[in-house]
A and B are shown apart, each in its own frame.
Chain A
Amino acid sequence: MKKDVVLSIDHLSKKFGKFEALKDVSFDVNKGEVFGFIGPNGAGKSTTIRILLGILKASGGTATVFGQDVWKDSVSIHKRLAYVPGDVYLWPNLSGGEIIDLLLKLGGAKHSARTDELIKQFKLDPTKKARAYSKGNRQKVALIAAFSTDSDFYIFDEPTSGLDPLNEEIFQQNVLKLKQEGKSVLLSSHILSEVEKMCDRIGIIREGQIIETGSLDEMRHLTRTVIRVTTSEQLSELHNQPGVHGVESGTKTNEVTFSVDSEYLDNVMKYLAGKGITALQSTPPTLEDLFMRYYNANGKQVKEVGSHD
């Protein structure tokens, strides 16, 4: 094992009876890195994470955290790990404050000034019984317990799905703080702006398979840049250029909007330059575009508006 790899997953698979929840999942999370784990509901994100926690037993493949087997050595792994589940269920009769303290004690930690600070930041009322908490407040309880634990590896499973934008911001600040401290984070999400903002690398999972991993920059080449251009000459041949999609005329004369596959960008720019560019605006691909390309139903080609005619 390389020294700087915190999590290593190799051809992990998981079957529930006949259903194959995970077919082939492999990726690494390096030390000091925030890794975004994205995919739609039911793609296998939570199943993967539960295997990493030793809650589920893998059907095949291996997964190690800190170089230790996630199933056999779960207890010793958990000493250096913090986790926030996607659906936080709390004992209805305990108050949030009691649960935070209990979780800290179970991990051998203590309620600290940092805990109080987090409770204040997230604006949690710790005296309320857990049954009275909304989903967002239950998530806050788990987040406060996780952030006030001094761990080496943090796993967040869709942690902000119930939080309001203010608390989401606080969550992001705290993750960035962990990153500055050199901690490693696995962040599963389907909120792309969140992942885009925080993650060094991402892995995309669909139907139990990792279909792409890499940095956001590396992935951008897989997607299309949207270009709005106004030229002095007519662009009648534009839609026949390789890699060009969805050509639409704008409101002004000779103004068009289209998207272009990143690898053909050079070609297209040369073509446009020959037509006399008067205005040009390019929008970098967002994770949204990436996502949409990978997640269209059943993996078929995305149906595009006015595609390649």
Chain B
Amino acid sequence: MTNLFAKTGFLARFYFKKDRNKLIIWAVVLLMLMVSIAYKFGDLYGSQKQIQAIMPTLRSKSMVSLFGTLGYPASLHIQTANVFAQEMVIFMAIITVIMNFGLAVSGSRGQEDNGVIEMIRAKMVGKIAPLAASAIEIIIINLILGVLYGAGIQAANMAESDTNGDWLLGLSMAAVGIMFGVFGLLMAQIADHSNNAMILSYFGFAIAYVVRMATDVTNPDYTWWSPIGWLEKTSPYHGNNWLPVVWMIVLTIILLGLTFYLNLHRDLGSGIISSRPGRQRASATLMGPVTLLMRLERTTIIAWILGSLMLGASYGSIYNSIGDILKTNPTMQQVFGKAAVDSANQGLVLNFSATIAIVIAVVATIPAIQIMLKLKSDESKGWLELINSKPVSRIKMVCSYSAVAMVTGIITWLVGIGTLFLVGNSTLKSSQQIDGAKILATIWTYIPAILVMMAIAMLIIGWLPRFASFVWLYTAAGFVIMYMGGLLKLPDWTKNVIPFGWVNKVPVKNIDWSVFTWMLVLFVGLMIIGWIGYRKRDFQTD
């Protein structure tokens, strides 16, 4: 076969057909987020008064570390469209990257793992046609989204928005999606299994994100070092700079060329980093469902714990720049006295900690849910059929998976929040440091919330196993509510939709032990109900 790309178009059409449900759900969710928020911003931040009220928050270090900064000069007369861009760019990019990693890795390495590519390659198909088809799928879906974003934002017609900015925002989102999608394809060539490819992809993204965060908080000029940071440099509705989009396209082409090169120079089923041959005999520690799960998931578990550590450390490291009242207003100390300034500074730090605590709690929830859901996905993959023919009861399976999920979630949480406070306090003067009681209150508060999220996953596994992945939609919705709820001025009741909203805002407020207790009771109750469903249902292999 001389034509390396033979049948690429045919395969791309087939991929669209195969993934249509997934693509439609993603597209609808992403568009709704972007466009509905654009429409809503006219009400939220229509008047100068409303904008003036939110700007200090948006310019605060905690918000800059989360959402980035678009480099609007202090002198700029901030308008609705600017606020919108400031809040949405990084946030939407995160979700876009998650979508593209999923499409890229499952479409390339995932299909190779389950043997589909081998079947396709046996046909009259070019050597890199399947990979090229995956790339086309990624490019087209992102372009469609980019165009719809542009059109949607333009239709929302926010104050001071201009067509150039609307389309820059939309198309730069497409470019960042394609860039990270292709990065995912590249990682799928390097790793020899889709799990590893996914871990490598997120690792790369995490580095880009941390570099962006660190540089945004310290000196935004250096944000050029992070591909995610390029997005901020477009500065929509102010500079309307298309250069970063060109950079993204150039990097995408380089990554794509590298991906094709590696694909052509490796055997089907292998990766650049190949797995070592396994053990001849099981180690003494591999003896039951719990140790099996730990053995299988150890890379994932370690990756999450390390990620959480990085997150805590990087947010902690900017604690000293949060309480910078003295810097901005040196006369304050003379007017109010040192103690009052310290307490005002600490108030800022506590508020910052409360915001970041939710982020870390959500991050810790992800591996807990991921491992809990494995109880269903392992069943679907047929891996549990052999275990189920052994004297291992269903309650033991539930207990094993939930124990590993629970411990992983809690450790990820403890490491993340512990590092945050440890590193954070180390950057502060002792008079401003957060005391142990407040730290403990924060740690305890979110543990039941993480557990309840996990129990909701179990409930669905027990009763509606086919809808198990809806837990992710719920988690994502919860994340949006907690992360953006304040900025979007969502009604307060929306916070009650998700367990993270049921708890007190620690460490600003104190822990509510009655909430703590009934959430633990709820956790146990949901687990038991989930188990009852699991106990009496059929096991199904896809």
Q: Which residues of A are in contact with B by a Cβ distance under 8 Å?
A: 50, 53-57, 74-76, 78-79, 81-83, 85, 87-103, 105-108, 111, 126-129, 131-132, 142, 145, 155
Which residues does chain A contribute within 8 Å of B388, judged by CB atoms? 53-55
Whether A103 contacts B278 in the complex (CB less than 8 A), given A89-B381, A89-B385, comes out as no
Q: Which residue of A lies closest to B282 (CB)?
A: A101
Which residues does chain B contribute within 8 Å of A75, judged by CB atoms? 391-393
Which residues does chain B contribute within 8 Å of A128, judged by CB atoms? 277-278
For window 355-391 of chain B, which residues contact chain A by CB distance below 8 Å? 381-383, 385-391
Q: Which residues of B are in contact with A by a Cβ distance under 8 Å?
A: 113, 193, 195, 269, 275, 277-283, 286-288, 292, 295-296, 381-383, 385-393, 536-539, 541
Q: Which residue of B lies closest to A14 (CB)?
A: B538
Q: Which residue of B lies closest to A56 (CB)?
A: B538
Q: Which residue of B lies closest to A93 (CB)?
A: B296
How far is it, in angstroms, between the C-alpha of A101 and the C-alpha of B295 when the chains are bound? 14
Which residues does chain A contribute within 8 Å of B277, judged by CB atoms? 95, 127-129
Which residues does chain B contribute within 8 Å of A87, judged by CB atoms? 382, 541
Sample (16) of A-B pairs whose CB atoms are under 8 Å apart: A78-B389, A85-B389, A89-B381, A90-B386, A91-B296, A92-B193, A94-B295, A97-B278, A98-B279, A100-B282, A106-B390, A111-B282, A126-B280, A127-B278, A131-B193, A145-B386
Which residues does chain A contribute within 8 Å of B390, judged by CB atoms? 78, 103, 106-107
Q: Is the CB of B389 within 8 A of A89?
A: no
Q: A78-B391, A89-B541 are in contact. List 17 more A-B contacts (CB 8 A).
A: A53-B388, A55-B538, A57-B538, A75-B393, A78-B390, A83-B389, A85-B389, A89-B385, A90-B386, A92-B113, A95-B278, A99-B282, A100-B282, A102-B286, A106-B387, A106-B392, A128-B277
Q: Is the CB of B389 within 8 A of A102?
A: no
Q: Is the CB of A85 within 8 A of B279?
A: no
| Chain A proximity of B415: nearest CB distance (Å) | 24
Q: Is the CB of A98 within 8 A of B389?
A: no
Which residues does chain B contribute within 8 Å of A108, judged by CB atoms? 391
Q: Is the CB of A53 within 8 A of B389?
A: yes
Which residues does chain B contribute within 8 Å of A105, judged by CB atoms? 282, 286-288
Q: Which residue of A lies closest to B390 (CB)?
A: A106
List the 8 shortest-distance A-B pairs measured between CB atoms, nearest first.
Answer: A95-B278, A89-B382, A101-B282, A83-B389, A106-B390, A98-B282, A78-B391, A79-B391
Count of chain A to chain B residue pairs whose CB atoms are closer than 8 Å in the complex: 112
Q: Which of B296, B392, B537 contacts A94 (CB 8 A)?
A: B296
How far is it, in angstroms, between the C-alpha of A81 and the C-alpha of B386 when the chains are bound? 12
| Chain A proximity of B391: nearest CB distance (Å) | 4
Which residues does chain A contribute within 8 Å of B391, judged by CB atoms? 75-76, 78-79, 106-108
Which residues does chain A contribute within 8 Å of B541, judged by CB atoms? 87, 89
Which residues does chain B contribute within 8 Å of A53, judged by CB atoms? 388-389
Q: Is the CB of A95 within 8 A of B280?
A: yes
Which residues does chain A contribute within 8 Å of B278, judged by CB atoms? 94-98, 127-129
Which residues does chain B contribute within 8 Å of A82, judged by CB atoms? 389
| Chain A proximity of B281: nearest CB distance (Å) | 5
Which residues does chain B contribute within 8 Å of A126, judged by CB atoms? 280-281
Q: Which residue of B lies closest to A96 (CB)?
A: B278
Which residues does chain A contribute within 8 Å of B283, judged by CB atoms? 98
Which residues does chain A contribute within 8 Å of B195, judged by CB atoms? 93
How far is it, in angstroms, between the C-alpha of A74 and the C-alpha of B388 when the chains are bound? 9
Q: Which residue of B lies closest to A54 (CB)?
A: B388
Q: Is the CB of B287 within 8 A of A102?
A: yes
Q: Is the CB of B385 within 8 A of A55?
A: yes
Q: Which residue of B lies closest to A155 (CB)?
A: B389
Q: Is the CB of A98 within 8 A of B281?
A: yes
Which residues does chain A contribute within 8 Å of B279, judged by CB atoms? 95, 97-98, 127
Q: Is the CB of B281 within 8 A of A85?
A: no
How far is it, in angstroms, between the C-alpha of A240 and the C-alpha of B280 when the chains are bound? 68
| Chain B proximity of A107: nearest CB distance (Å) | 5
| Chain A proximity of B407: nearest CB distance (Å) | 20
| Chain B proximity of A118: nearest CB distance (Å) | 14
How far is it, in angstroms, between the C-alpha of A85 and the C-alpha of B541 when the chains are bound? 12
| Chain B proximity of A209: nearest CB distance (Å) | 20
| Chain B proximity of A1: nearest CB distance (Å) | 21
Which residues does chain A contribute within 8 Å of B392, judged by CB atoms? 75, 78, 106
> Considering residues A53, A108, A111, which has the most beta carbons from chain B within 10 angstroms of its beta carbon?
A53
Q: Which residue of A lies closest to B194 (CB)?
A: A92
Which residues does chain B contribute within 8 Å of A78, judged by CB atoms? 389-392
| Chain B proximity of A290: nearest CB distance (Å) | 30
Which residues does chain B contribute within 8 Å of A88, judged by CB atoms? 386
| Chain B proximity of A307: nearest CB distance (Å) | 41
Q: Is the CB of A111 within 8 A of B281?
A: yes
